[in-house]
Amino acid sequence: MGSIHYRETLDYKLCFAFAIIAQLVLWIADGLLVYRCYLIFIDRRAVYVPVIAIYTICIMVSMIEAYPALEVRGYPDLPDSGSHLEQAAEYELLILWFTTSLMTNILVTGFIISRIFHRLSLAASYTRAA
């Protein structure tokens, strides 16, 4: 009877499934927000093109960052990637992913709010003029 490798355990499989599902949920939520921005600003490319670019970068970074985040150190059957340089790179990817996701949410929310206030001010000026 051989030893059980960590990657064959239920704990590893559940962690892997949770990480994939969490990434998919975040991609869908951010994607819906970006799509809403596109629909609101369909006539202004200067607004929605940078948002789509940031969202695309966020997806790419989260794909690159996903595998190292799932590695568990200290198990003999896993490759040892515990060098300081690799840990720093993983940390920088995590920070980059968080920053791009946060920028996407803040920019889109700010753009949508500014468009709503602009439309409200236009509606108020039309009612005053009439």
In a domain, 1, yes or no: no
Q: Which residues contact 88 (CB under 8 A, 6 or more apart)?
A: none
Kindly tell me if the per-residue pLDDT of 29 is higher than 90. yes
Higher pLDDT, 110 or 85: 110
In a domain, 30, yes or no: yes
Residue 106, domain extent: 6-129
Angstrom distance (rounded) from CA 88 to CA 39? 39
In a domain, 85, yes or no: yes
In a domain, 31, yes or no: yes
In a domain, 89, yes or no: yes
In a domain, 114, yes or no: yes
CB 63 within 8 A of CB 12: no
> In this predicted model, what pLDDT tens digit does every residue of 87-129 receive, in sequence order?
667 778 778 888 888 989 999 999 999 999 998 998 888 887 7
- Which of the four pLDDT bands, split at 50, 70 and 90, describes residue 76? very low
In a domain, 104, yes or no: yes
Let me know if 130 is exposed, middle or buried by CB neighbors in 10 A (0-12, 13-18, 19+): exposed
Give the number of domains in the chain.
1
Kindly tell me if the per-residue pLDDT of 73 is higher than 60. no
In a domain, 110, yes or no: yes
pLDDT score at 109: 93
- Which of the four pLDDT bands, split at 50, 70 and 90, describes residue 53? very high
